[in-house]
Structure 1
């Protein structure tokens, strides 16, 4: 235990720093660039395995001083790497402009140069432990996984009260402790000295900052503006700002003054990781502007409706609904900080005053909802929390339709400010939901109203009658909104110009009269005459619960050619594709290593062929299964951060326990067979009913749902932990060099797995990703060597 405890600490520090860096990218830049951190980390691990293969004998001879020296080298590399990351002038918006992209590509290489040494040294330390303790492969792998799980839990715990910019200095002592435990005497004094120097560099030389192009940057620098509150949590850094630019962000008619209605009120701006997620009131939420808002459209058709509001908008949405004639309002706010603000206030923003007509519910947004005439999704609901996207799926809409009373409807917003194509995909989802609900003519149940920036899609339980269409037309005409679609309605004019945006053509607008591309596209959708497009027009489903990115994978070359017209939400797809291409090159290099260094490996051809599939299959399969588990746990818990942390910790801990057992089994071939069978059966059960099981558990308490995640993942994770150490132990009997090479193969294909699984999930669905992970473990079972050396 003493010999492997430093490995536990090194793995904990490596994973903790990896999580910290992803949060740093989210706060200082944009979260999608956190994929680079994962790529750099796994690249470092993979390259370290290659180096260990080529110098295995020498590293083994040097192990006495390398084991304490490597964590100290990691400490120095981690501190200096953090200084380099903080000083990098990367600007992602310039990356989207071909004219300015060149310097940004060098800045990306700068991130690799700053972070690669740390993760390379971490991988070298792990692979050296495999070489030194070659007879205890299962125990070594178990300590590695358990350390990674502990590091993840520690990092997430620190994020509860520590700003991400301070995370790396907080994790460096783990490496000094690892060095002190690995060596004696002078090494312990060296560990103290290096820690002091590393902390000084990390704290004094690093000057992290928030990108000037993030939404929060300008409000932070407004004269007389100030930050009134800050909350630190694993899910984000929340900042409450007070300045004259902060107003309720709702789409109000330009005719509000002529209607005798005021502008939306001032408020406090609430930002998470630099993105604005809500306006909080300065006093009792004002609602006098509500009749002039686009969001008022469904209330023009309903009399004293009972309303279920998804997303409270800091209390403004309930006040608006009451002002528009709602008889009772139930508010569901899944975002934890916004929910706390509704219940108790936040900083100087008070909680909305108690009103017997308003109920704040703690139920899950997708839990069965009965007794409501209107299900009204607030304008900022989708942006407020990543898991809120599940409310936009065809299955969720169909379930709500089934519970609406006669005359009931659903009101769903979407922004068309940057891409009108989002409206078409939402309409396709509504059509699919209506058909799932048994509606033969979906077009008779839909209405679309919009401004130049935002759109409201109304989905009615019953066909919308002509008199209701007339009321909607009058509502739109009075406010200079556009009724883009309603049954039997032909728009006589267009108030707000929304030209089509296409990747196939460089022409965004031809000039002349105002255009309503939304109306054209929706009519083509309903008539089945929509032309092929680079944008995905398929419905949003439970298996593919993403409105964006909307660019089809096959259209990536077009997207790269016209990257300047794509909004920030679409860039994640391109980043994934870039990481995937890089990972594929790395994996190919590692796979070709035996041909370049055949003398160093000395692996028989028959065993090499099996290893070239066995270890990559495990690297791909483990992460594919993990990614699907994270997505489903996030849905069940209603929180991606909670789902990620619980799944990661559970899978690493129980996989580590399985790896510990691997070194003790008497019949490795039988143990592997049972493990592969367990993985295949668990994945098959997931394919058959995982989503249905998640939906069935939504009505339970949060702690009960969290317990379900652990109980469901524990046996699967235990089985996932067996094949890798069993394979290492068996394959190394053919050649001792198999240990670091197998570690390298697993790392290289783990780099590949994350972007590949993400792209497969967006393009084909989560079930195909789970099936792919199951097939990987099935292949590993088939390719297990039948006879040991």
Structure 2
């Protein structure tokens, strides 16, 4: 971080020298100081949040981080414990007599804990893996081929091996997990990824399914996010394309007849994740199976986790009986089966009210839509256009949630959404002061705005293109996460393309305006901006599926090629307007830059809120409308006949 700031300061000094706003002597002293700080390695040490899982584990005596590895996908920390053995089995039955083997903890960005389990030649020592809700599908029928999405350090693979699964395909996006288990800690772990019948794929789960035609008896997705951050609502801002309706459709299409899709999530109170997942799956099944959808679901819960099983077919009475036997032996609770009865629920991990059972019944009833609209949290299914699965906040529940703060209910508030909204309010307030400030304090500027160009046009134009540019940029950056698999990759590729090619567009604006004039040039580029934006909105889903088999380097190239023409034309509107101001009101150029900068800050926050509420398509459509509107507010000077008063000390008459 320090070196990034250092580069920024050096760039500012060079610009100041070029514009002669900084004296050379001052610049030399400042550069010398920066060089000294850089050479001595001075920089502030980043502190891990005390609320993250790694920080909490380090409070235990004898625990220490024994290794760290970094990649664009995050920092991986390996934790060992000398005094108190590390034992991690989320949602494990409280009545189980099994004990997990000794383990090493693995944390991604100091959170999202998983474990490397000690090697054993006796599979029965892995019996604790059968005491978790995620083991249910292995008891319903024998599974010959299993696909594990997000296999991480291999716990789910061990679970599949314990239940004698046939072929196991483990898909993991972060290759560091595989390297740690296969190489660095090979002597400690049970060679999980090198066992016969296990094939590991470094890939995104959806990409793997799009590029492989095999069908599976079981597709398993288990606890792919952190319990702490998930409970606090911090993941509400994160896009997840694993739990959208399109993703569920893809998973189900790759199941063998009678196969299962098993998804395990953290249990939250009041119910949120579990119900949203249930509603998402139900929405998909009702489109394909109609009234039979309710016969394809089984949902169970423990004290910490919930597992939803979706069958490619109808659950038989024998399978439902096996599910009841599985849960009763482990003191888990049935939430839903096709023949569930009220007396079968809320028997072990007892709640004051059987909320999960009542809610799933409401989602299956004719009053489903009314229940969703009245529920305290947002249960609308996530889609690829609005991939915020963990966005649960609803404004209608806000007053009640605030009241719970004084009763120790802070964890019930979806803080992520509120933080973004508060940031937007601060950005709007600050921008208002920064935009209006020059008009109040610089009387000359205020007078000249009235007498040379319409100040309303200047404000509207630069504010509008500031909003529109960032809306399109951020919306496409988020959409390309599905193609590039991770926000870091998507940001690197799309931001590079937008900034570089928008710069080329800006450099070409003078030539275009000389040939066609400023107003006609603006109309031409707006047509291209609107055309490319709407075209990509329609075609990107198909392009992403087509590109599933491409390597990551080729995907980067394709991304840049797709963004380049759109970004090129988006680079024109700003310099075209600045050129107009330079001719007729050059004193307004700093004000125009400020307006555009403030609009960009507001847009970066506003876009996230709009996307969470309405989806990326709406954001892009709004941006297209904004760009189209600037044709009518291009800041040309007023006709001379309309000018009155003094300009530059001279009286102008019509």
Q: TM-score, normalised by structure 1?
A: 0.71
In the other structure, the counterpart of 2:449 is: 603
- Counterpart secondary structure, 1:619: helix
- Counterpart secondary structure, 2:53: coil
In the other structure, the counterpart of 1:238 is: 76
CA distance in 2, matches of 1:176, 1:349: 53
Mapping for residues 445-484 of structure 1, pairs under 5 Å: 445-484=296-335
CA distance in 2, matches of 1:611, 1:637: 38
Counterpart pick for 2:159 among 308, 317, 320: 320
Q: Is the 8 A contact 2:439 2:445 kept in 1?
A: no
In the other structure, the counterpart of 1:719 is: 569
In the other structure, the counterpart of 1:357 is: 197
In the other structure, the counterpart of 1:636 is: 483
1:498–1:785 CA distance, 2 compared to 1 (3 A): farther
- Counterpart secondary structure, 2:511: coil
> Shift in Å at residue 471 of structure 1?
0.9
Mapping for residues 99-110 of structure 1, pairs under 5 Å: none
- Counterpart secondary structure, 1:548: coil
> Shift in Å at residue 391 of structure 1?
1.3
Q: Is the 8 A contact 2:157 2:192 kept in 1?
A: no
Q: Which structure is higher in strand share?
A: 2
CA distance in 2, matches of 1:167, 1:251: 42
Cα distance per residue 1:555-598 (max 9 Å; x no partner): 44444443553549931101101011112223333454575355
Residue 573 (structure 1) aligned with residue 417 (structure 2): yes
Mapping for residues 658-697 of structure 1, pairs under 5 Å: 658-665=505-512, 666=514, 667-697=517-547
Q: Is the 8 A contact 2:445 2:588 kept in 1?
A: no
> Shift in Å at residue 273 of structure 1?
2.4
- Counterpart secondary structure, 1:408: strand
Q: Which has the larger displacement, 438-447 or 421-430?
A: 438-447
Pick 1 or 2: higher relative contact order, CA cutoff 8 A, min separation 6: 1
Counterpart pick for 1:734 among 584, 599, 606: 584
1:304–1:166 CA distance, 2 compared to 1 (3 A): same
Q: TM-score, normalised by structure 2?
A: 0.85
1:554–1:679 CA distance, 2 compared to 1 (3 A): farther
Counterpart pick for 2:119 among 272, 275, 283: 283
Q: Is the 8 A contact 2:435 2:591 kept in 1?
A: no
1:703–1:234 CA distance, 2 compared to 1 (3 A): closer
Q: Is the 8 A contact 1:179 1:191 kept in 2?
A: no
In the other structure, the counterpart of 1:372 is: 216
> Shift in Å at residue 670 of structure 1?
2.9
Mapping for residues 114-513 of structure 1, pairs under 5 Å: 168=5, 186-187=25-26, 189-196=28-35, 199=38, 203=42, 206=44, 208-243=46-81, 244=84, 246-257=86-97, 262-283=98-119, 287-345=126-184, 350=189, 352=192, 354-367=194-207, 368=210, 370-380=214-224, 389-490=240-341, 491-497=343-349, 499=351
- Counterpart secondary structure, 2:112: strand
- Counterpart secondary structure, 2:426: helix
> Shift in Å at residue 692 of structure 1?
3.2
Cα distance per residue 1:731-752 (max 9 Å; x no partner): 3433222211111111111121
CA distance in 1, matches of 2:539, 2:35: 53
> Shift in Å at residue 265 of structure 1?
2.5
1:357–1:233 CA distance, 2 compared to 1 (3 A): closer
- Counterpart secondary structure, 2:65: strand
- Counterpart secondary structure, 2:256: coil
In the other structure, the counterpart of 2:604 is: 754
> Shift in Å at residue 217 of structure 1?
1.4
1:432–1:340 CA distance, 2 compared to 1 (3 A): farther
- Counterpart secondary structure, 1:539: coil
Alignment coverage as a number of residue pairs: 607
In the other structure, the counterpart of 2:644 is: none
> Shift in Å at residue 348 of structure 1?
7.5
Counterpart pick for 1:656 among 482, 503, 506: 503
Q: Is the 8 A contact 1:498 1:517 kept in 2?
A: no
CA distance in 2, matches of 1:495, 1:444: 23
Cα distance per residue 1:358-385 (max 9 Å; x no partner): 1112343113353201111122368899
- Root mean square deviation, CA, Å: 3.0
1:738–1:561 CA distance, 2 compared to 1 (3 A): farther
1:282–1:242 CA distance, 2 compared to 1 (3 A): same
In the other structure, the counterpart of 2:650 is: none
CA distance in 1, matches of 2:330, 2:391: 32
1:297–1:277 CA distance, 2 compared to 1 (3 A): same
Gaps of 5+ in 1: 1-19, 21-164, 500-513
> Shift in Å at residue 328 of structure 1?
1.2
Cα distance per residue 1:46-104 (max 9 Å; x no partner): xxxxxxxxxxxxxxxxxxxxxxxxxxxxxxxxxxxxxxxxxxxxxxxxxxxxxxxxxxx
CA distance in 1, matches of 2:353, 2:41: 55
Residue 703 (structure 1) aligned with residue 542 (structure 2): no
In the other structure, the counterpart of 2:386 is: 544
1:392–1:566 CA distance, 2 compared to 1 (3 A): farther
In the other structure, the counterpart of 1:586 is: 430
Q: Is the 8 A contact 2:193 2:199 kept in 1?
A: no
Q: Is the 8 A contact 1:382 1:388 kept in 2?
A: no
Q: Is the 8 A contact 2:193 2:200 kept in 1?
A: no
Gaps of 5+ in 2: 640-654
Q: Is the 8 A contact 2:461 2:635 kept in 1?
A: no
1:464–1:353 CA distance, 2 compared to 1 (3 A): closer
Q: Is the 8 A contact 2:181 2:193 kept in 1?
A: no
Q: Is the 8 A contact 1:446 1:458 kept in 2?
A: yes
Cα distance per residue 1:394-415 (max 9 Å; x no partner): 1111122123221012001111
- Counterpart secondary structure, 1:738: helix
Counterpart pick for 2:460 among 606, 610, 613: 613
